[in-house]
Amino acid sequence: MAGKTITLKALAYVLNDADELLVIRHVDHPWTEVGLQVPGGSVRPGESPADAALREAAEETGLSRLMFVRSVGRATYDMSPLRPEVQRRFFFHLAALGTHPRAWDSSEEHDGLLPPTRLQCLWIPLRQAHVLSAGHGVMINKLVDSHSTR
């Protein structure tokens, strides 16, 4: 890890009542660059990883009725060769309360520091979460083990 920046990240496995996982797609980037991901982002100074997961999920999806369920686990992910960064990731299970469309457009505003990132949000069956990219699916087995997969 010499010469690499270490960052703290919080990722949210958001499930609905149908045991479907909320995933996001970056609209302005090809699938081959970013794939499908779960909501998540940087843990701010003084913020707990669980609070960061709730904040990031709401910011990226526009959902306001999210409930913390439990911590799922931790993993380290090396961003090489994309950039010299090692992410210490905290994974959380969140529940989406209420009803939601099958897919919708959203954007992440980046606190006004960067242009907004256009996102598409959609639900996929939990049993198909193996399609997640960039190490986002590393803890999915812990959800599958505790949920039915219809």
Q: What is the pLDDT of residue 30?
A: 85
Which own/partner contact pairs does 1-5 have at CB distance under 8 Å and 24+ positions apart? 1/78, 1/86, 3/84, 4/78, 4/80, 4/84, 4/85, 4/86, 5/84, 5/85, 5/86
At 57-101, the pLDDT tens digits run: 999 999 999 999 999 999 999 999 989 999 999 999 999 999 999
At 106-122, the pLDDT tens digits run: 998 877 778 888 999 99
From CA 150, how far away is CA 129, in angstroms rounded? 13
Q: What is the pLDDT of residue 147?
A: 63
Q: What is the CATH architecture of 5-144?
A: Alpha-Beta Complex (3.90)
Residues 1-21, mean pLDDT to the nearest whole number: 93
Q: What is the pLDDT of residue 82?
A: 86
From CA 105, how far away is CA 117, in angstroms rounded? 11
Q: What is the pLDDT of residue 150?
A: 43
Residue 17 has pLDDT above 50, yes or no: yes
